[in-house]
């Protein structure tokens, strides 16, 4: 059988979907990939970087599902979703969502704007 990112990512996501959806019940969830350099962790989690939903990795599939579920329940529940994406490489932790390069390395500095 020929395995593509789409059916692999979709298969993995379907296995983790109940866990991901437990966020909507108030649980904290962490999805991570572990393996040697070059084994496809980033590709599996983030996809090849295309705009099409057919190229979504696990991260995008999970977030898309959470936002769709949130929208379905908007009349009965209001959700506040926080996302953190970090990379651990060579014993260094980096915040992958930080805008400022100075804030990408651990310990992270949280700036609160009111």
pLDDT in tens, 46-102: 887 777 777 788 888 999 999 999 999 999 999 888 888 888 878 888 888 888 766
Confidence of residue 108 (pLDDT cuts 50, 70, 90): low
Same domain, 44 and 61: yes
Confidence of residue 113 (pLDDT cuts 50, 70, 90): low
**Residue list, annotated binding site:** 35-42
Same domain, 41 and 26: yes
Is the full-model pTM beyond 0.85?
A: no
Vertex 8, ends 7 and 12: CA angle to 5°?
Answer: 115
Across the chain, mean pLDDT equals 81
Residue 106 lies in domain: 84-114
Round to whole Å and give the CA distance between 29 and 46: 17
Question: What is the domain count for the chain?
Answer: 2
Vertex 57, ends 51 and 58: CA angle to 5°?
Answer: 140
**Residue list, annotated binding site for ATP:** 35-42
Give mean pLDDT, residues 5-23: 83
């Amino acid at each position: 059988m020929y395995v593509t990112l789409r059916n692999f990512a979709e298969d993995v996501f379907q296995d983790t979907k109940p866990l991901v959806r437990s966020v909507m019940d108030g649980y904290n969830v962490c999805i991570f990939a572990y393996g040697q350099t070059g084994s496809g962790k980033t590709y599996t989690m983030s996809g090849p970087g295309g705009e099409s939903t057919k190229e979504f990795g696990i991260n995008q599939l999970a977030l898309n599902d959470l936002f769709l579920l949130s929208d379905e329940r908007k009349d009965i529940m209001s959700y506040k979703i926080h996302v953190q994406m970090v990379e651990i490489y060579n014993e260094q932790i980096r915040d992958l969502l930080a805008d400022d390069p100075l804030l990408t390395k651990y310990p992270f500095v949280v700036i609160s704007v009111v």
